[in-house]
Structure 1
Amino acid sequence: MLYQRVVPEKMNIRRPRAVIVLVASGILFCLCYLQIVKKVIKINIESLVLRNTVDSNPDAWWTSVLCKGKTNETFKKIVLPLLMRDITPGLDNNVFLVESACKSTPTYRAWCAVESFARENPKAEVWYVMTTSAVNNTNGLPGRLLDHYPNLHVVSADLDMVFNNTLLEEFFTSGAWYRNTPWPMIQISDLLRVLLVWRYGGFYSDTDTVCLKSISPLKNVIVTSTGDRNHIANGVFHFTNRHEFITFIMSTMTKMYSPRAWGSMGPNTFNRCTREYCKLPNLQSLFPKEREDPIKCGNITVLPEYYLLPYPWNQYRKIFREGGWKNFIATHKKTYAIHAYGKVNGGMLIKVGSNSIYEGASRTFCPISYFHATANSSVF
């Protein structure tokens, strides 16, 4: 039998269309999945950057808000001790001033406020609490003040640590205080001042002030801020550690918070709490007409404005008027401090030798700061 050899033709292998579609779909799914995973990882990383608390890390999440736009300047600096880690205040014998805008170089007027409280209250511990980790000592002023006043402490605050285990912790960590508001520094300052006084007890003052005499007689006090006495200030106050009124303030602040309303957690909260605490229809009913003495309300005292705020904010020009110091010291025997209203005075300059109320007060009660401010300038 004859066999014929059959040579097979070259095979032409073709992939079924269904297989191609399946493979393409799988690749597309994997790409989409990877994109989703990438986004989730990015969100989680951003969340960790904002929320993670590392005690020794100066670049905590909140610095991205308060220190926004700040550059890493090179200057002769003093690295500050960390509040609550390196140094902790005792109870009730304190004066607190706060710098919340992450400034490593405070103004001469801020240093004047700090010095005046340290000078006039030698038996109190004066704390300048800053949100920066170091202070600029190029001109030597901070170092000189620290050397001269043993009761002065310039410290850095880790806000995560300060707010931890308090009524304000959840609000702080939520970041609600900086979202949709033009004034995140104001909001955190309003929170921080109350929290420090609640934790440790003592007196709080803004840094656009000058202390004129010892504030030791002032205990558990708030102050009216206008001649009409229909407003309570949050720029100066005193309370003992965990006083019920300051606890009431803390519990009310976040309920009152309005991101677009300046002072909602500051004066507005103090006004509301005072009315409720004192059971008043309005604040003016606290003071009979022309009354000059403080008013007791439960276990707090409400001071007339001239004790700590002798001029309302809309009369700040009187503080800078030439020759006003001599008359002021003769007529304001009950005044413990003056307030220069830095937020509204537009950085109004003071001429050396003008003897305005502010010039006279700073020359007398913060002499080291005054010397540095005027050493090479006829205005400050």
Structure 2
Amino acid sequence: MRVKAIFSAFVVVIVIAVGMNVSYYSFKSKFGFTPVKDVPKESMCGKTIQLQPIPASNPDENNQMFFVDASPTPKFKGRVMCAFESAIVLGKLPVKVIVIAKNFTIDHPALCSLFDKFYPEKLNFYSVDFDELFRGTSLEGIKADRRQSKPVFTNMSDMMRAAILYKYGGFYFDQDVVTLNDLRGLRNILVMDNILTYPNEKCEATSVEKSNMLNQGTMHFEKGNKFLDSYLKVQNHSWTKQFHPVGLGPVAMHTAASRFFGYEGKLSSPMTTPLLTITPSFTFRLLAHWYRIKPPRMFNVNVNGSYFDNFIRCSHSLHLTAPESKSVKISGDPRRDVYSYLGPKVCPLSFAHLQQF
């Protein structure tokens, strides 16, 4: 009898303890506190998600990062994931990827890792309805045949990025841009293109930069920015079915900025107004084969870390354009290529899948 009584008392204690634990977690959940023991999150890997348009109510207005994929079937590779991850971790911004497709499957190992860690609080994918996106902008009513003018993907991407920033506010980066530091606080910025200069020790420009193109692969604009509206008007009015391959991008942007500042010919930096700041090229580094002065090699080298650090020490980002890097195999050796040097620092989850990078 005594043994039975002790056993019954033990069971009662266990039941009470379990009940208290459940109550504790219910209390924590009810009042918004984080439980001591995290419930394992179900992996998103292998799942196909149905994409929705960008919500009209946007709490991240002006402080968010947009990436755009204008291809009908987006395929995100490891280096693209590095762009997403670095914008979240170093840029301190929620990332929103806008695609034409209505759904896609999370099938890349690096994308699985990012979804499992950051979705949906810091990483989201959305589809785009062009009529809705262009509504209320200077591209409203643009006909479908003009949307399909060649080169299709380039034209669509140039239109989408400008309209998205005008309607929602924030940053736009190309998918081959690596973020290097906190971007919050930067506003209404464009970067000089076709220029390669170096700052002084204080990260100040040592000369005036002049160019007839502006890089819109890295930019920020606040919602409803009036200069950005003028850029959308230039896109709409100057677009033909056989327009110049970069005509809706750097060329149209330069045209709009020239009119905005009342300039003819090449623009110079730095130029600053509340609605638009043109910042020197070294603030958002771009590696491009069309530069008059060739940038230092970032791949197939044999250097130490200071070689790369010196090039990006005053930069918010590094734009490793696809023509310069897509065919390069990443070595995994930080002395051999810039991805192997930066990857473990700026996008460790993505870089962990080196074979698919």
Range of TM-score over shorter length: 0.7 to 0.9
**Alignment check: 8 A CA contact 2:165 2:220 kept:** yes
Q: Percentage identity across aligned positions?
A: 19
Partner of 1:224: 192
1:242-270 deviations in Å (ceiling 9; x for gaps): 11111111111122224241011111111
Equivalent of 2:73, from 103, 107, 114?
103
Instruction: Give 3-state SS (helix, strand or coil) of 2:126's partner.
Output: strand
Query: In the alignment, which residue of structure 2 is the partner of 1:141?
Result: 110
- Quote how far apart the aligned CAs of 1:99 are: 0.9
Q: What displacement does 1:345 show?
A: 4.4
Distance in 1 (alpha carbons) for counterparts of 2:295 and 2:155 = 23
Tell me the secondary structure at the aligned position of residue 234 of structure 1.
strand
**Where in structure 1 do 4 or more consecutive aligned residues deviate above 6 Å?**
none
Quick one: structure 1 residues 211 and 360, their matched pair in 2 at CA, closer, same or farther if it must change by over 3 Å? same
- In structure 2, the CA distance between the partners of 1:215 and 1:102, relative to structure 1 (3 Å rule), is same
Provide, for residues 336-373 of structure 1, a one-character-per-residue CA deviation record: whole Å limited to 9, x for no partner. Answer: 1111111454522222215322322223211111112x
1:356-371 matched pairs, under 5 angstroms: 356-371=337-352
In structure 2, the residue matched to 1:320 is 299
* 2:282 corresponding residue in structure 1: 306
Query: Residue 131 of structure 1 corresponds to which residue in structure 2?
Result: 100
Specify the alignment match of 2:262 in structure 1.
279
The answer to whether the 8 A contact 1:84-1:161 is kept is no
The one-letter code matched in structure 1 to 2:327 is G
CA distance in 2 between partners of 1:113 and 1:240 (Å):
22
5+ residue gaps, structure 2: 1-44, 196-208
Residues 284-342 of structure 1: CA deviation (Å, up to 9, x unaligned): 5x24xxxxxx3314631111111112444444772324245432214532101111111
**Counterpart in 2 of 1:37?**
none
The match for 1:121 is 91
Quick check: 158-167 or 334-343, which moved more? 158-167
Cα 1:89–1:153 shift into 2, 3 Å: farther
Show the 5 A alignment for 1:290-305: 294-297=270-273, 299-305=275-281
Work out the CA distance in 2 between the residues paired with 1:164 and 1:276.
24
Residues 317 and 156 (structure 1), Cα distance of their counterparts in 2 relative to 1, 3 Å cut: farther
Flag the 1:207–1:86 CA change in 2: closer, same or farther, 3 A.
same
RMSD over equivalenced CA pairs, Å: 2.5
TM-score by length of 1: 0.70
Aligned residue-pair number: 291
Query: What is the CA distance between 1:95 and its match in structure 2?
Result: 0.8
Higher strand share: 2
Q: How does 1:230-241 map to 2 (within 5 A)?
A: 230=211, 231-241=213-223
Q: Deviations over 1:112-142 (max 9, x none)?
A: 11111011133x3211112222333234432
1:71-100 per-position Cα deviation (integer Å, ceiling 9, x unaligned) = xxxx93331431235985642111101111
2:137 to 155, 166, 181: 166
Name the counterpart of 1:340: 320
Alignment of 1:8-19 (within 5 A): none
Deviations 1:136-183 (A, max 9, x none): 323443232123223121222233332234321222x3321313x2x1
For the Cα contact (< 8 Å) 2:166–2:225, is it kept in 1?
yes
Structure 1, unpaired ranges of 5+: 1-74, 288-293
**Contact map agreement 1:163 1:195 (CA 8 A) in 2:** yes
Amino acid at match of 1:305: S
Q: Aligned runs of 1:27-106 on 2, under 5 Å? A: 76-84=46-54, 88=58, 90-106=60-76
Match status 1:263 vs 2:246: yes
Question: 2:10 maps to what in 1?
Answer: none
Structure with max Cα Rg: 1
Does the CA-based 8 Å contact 1:229-1:305 persist in structure 2? no
| Contact 1:95–1:127 under 8 Å retained in 2 | yes
Partner amino acid, structure 2, of 1:336: H
> 2:99 is matched by which residue type in structure 1?
M
Q: Kindly tell me: are residues 116 and 104 of structure 1, through their superposed partners in 2, closer, same or farther at Cα, counting changes over 3 Å?
A: same
Equivalent position of 2:19 in the other structure: none
User: Judging changes above 3 Å, is the alpha-carbon distance between structure 1 residues 89 and 207 closer, same or farther for their aligned structure 2 residues?
Assistant: farther
Structure 2 letter corresponding to 1:116: S
Q: CA deviation at 1:207?
A: 0.2
CA contact (8 A) 1:232 1:270 kept: yes
In the aligned structure 2, how far is the partner of 1:238 from the partner of 1:207? 15
Letter in 2 for 1:302: I
